[in-house]
Structure 1
Amino acid sequence: MIKKQTLFLFFLLLITFDGFCQNYTDFQYRFIPAVNYRFNDKWKISGEYRYSVQKDFQEFRSSAAEFAVKYNFNPEFSIEPGYRFTTSYESDAHRLFAALKYDKDFGALSLFSAIKYQFSTGSFNERYMSDFKEPVQMLREKIGLDYNVPKSKASFNVSVEIFLKLADDDPIKYNRTRYTIGSDYRFKYGSKVGLSFFFDDRYNPQKIDRFVLETKYTLSIDDLIKKIKKEKERKAKSDTESTQP
C-alpha cells in the first residue's frame, strides 16, 4: 500500500512539474568552445562560439561569435570590452559591451563581481535604430563565489546577476535576475571544461522564464605553450643526465 501511494505521488509530482515547465519555463542548452591568449600580466584576448537550442532542447535558438580584450589594472581589478554577433533563423544582432571586473582570492575561496554595460541592435544603421527598432541597452551587476577544491583541479561556483534595462522614458528598469551554479575542471595542457546551470527569473510576466544548461570548453594558448616548453626542457635535461657517465 505504501509503495502504491509513493508511486502515485511520484507520478503526480512529474505531471505537476511538467505542466509548470510547459506553462512558465523553457529548458535551453548552450555549447561554448572558447580560446584565449595572455600576452603578459596586463593584456589578454579571448574568443568564443556559442550554439544554443531552446524549447526543451528541441529547437535551434541561435549561434554567436564573441571577441573580447581584457586589461588588468592590478591583480584584483580589470576592464573587458568586446563585441558579439548573434544570428538565428529570424534575425541577426550586434552587441557591444564593456565590463569592470573584480576578483579577490581568500585562499581556496574567491570573490568575483562585475558591472557590465551592453548595447544591442539589429543594425548600426542610424535610420534602422531610430525608425524600426531602437537599441537595447542593459546594465548588469553580478556577484559570486568560487571554491577551488584543495589538492584538486576542480572548482565550484555560485553567482547572482541583476539585469537593469536602460531607456529614455524610464532611465532604469528592472529586467530579470539570473541565478547560476557551476563547476570547472582543469586539464594538463591549458584546457578547462565547465558545466553550469542558470535560471532567469524575468520581471515581465508575459515573458517565459528559462532554465539553461551550459557546457564550455576553454583552451588557454599561453598555458599550453608554457606546458609544452616545460615538457621539452624536462625531457632534454633527462636525456642529458642519462648520457653522462
Structure 2
Amino acid sequence: MHLQSDPSGQSRKFAIIFVLGAPGAGKGTLSTHLAQKHNLLHYSVGDGLRAWMRENRSTEPAAKIQSKLDNQRFLTSEDLKPFIYQQMLDAINCDGPEMDGILIDGYLRCMEQLNSFGSWPFQDTAPLAPGSEGEVSLDIKPDLVLSLQVLKQKARERYMSRARDNNDSADKFEKRFTEYELETVPVEDEYRRRGVLVPIDVNGTKEENIEVLSKTLQESEI
C-alpha cells in the first residue's frame, strides 16, 4: 500500500480506506495500528456513534437512530453520512501535520450503503484524488478495502471476551455474524470485482495478525 502526494504538487492525494469484517475479526485493533503507521485518521463508526448517542440522547436525530437500533435495523447511509463526512473533513483540515487519509472501521455493512456512498457529492469539498492539470478527479472512492478473514469460532471467542456492554451475548453474536454473511459479504464481493479489495487472514494472535497485515499490504499492488 502506497500513500503519496501527487508528484506534480498540483493536488493533494487523500485516501479513503474501508475495513470490513465479521464481529470479533479485530477491526478496531488492526485499524488503530494501520492508522498510526500510515498517518491516517482512524474512525470507528460504532464507537463514534455510541459516543455521539451518549451526548445527544434527548435529541430527535438520536431518537430516530435509537429506534432503528432497538429494532435491529441497519442504519442507512443517510443516517451515517453526517458522521462520516465530518470525520473526512476533520482529517483533511486538521490543524497539525496533514493526514494522508481516513480509515473507516465498520462501514460499509450492506449494499444499500455501498450504492449510496458512490453518489456522495463529497468530491466538491474534499481533494480526494489528483486529476489532470490540478483538477480534482471524480473517481469513486474508496481507494482500498480491507476484508478481515476470521473463522467463526475464533470470532465468537474474541467477541465474547471483549463484551463491550450487557447486550453483548452469544445470541447477539450469532445474529451479527449471520448479518455479516448475508449483507456484508456481497459488499466485499463487489469491491473484489472492482479490484480494490485485499483479504487479510486474522486468525492468529494480535502480533501475528499485525505481521500478516503488514506483509499482505506490502505485497499488494493496490
- TM-score, normalization by structure 1: 0.29
Q: Which has the higher strand share?
A: 1
- Which structure shows the bigger proportion of residues in helix conformation? 2
TM score, norm. by length of structure 2: 0.31
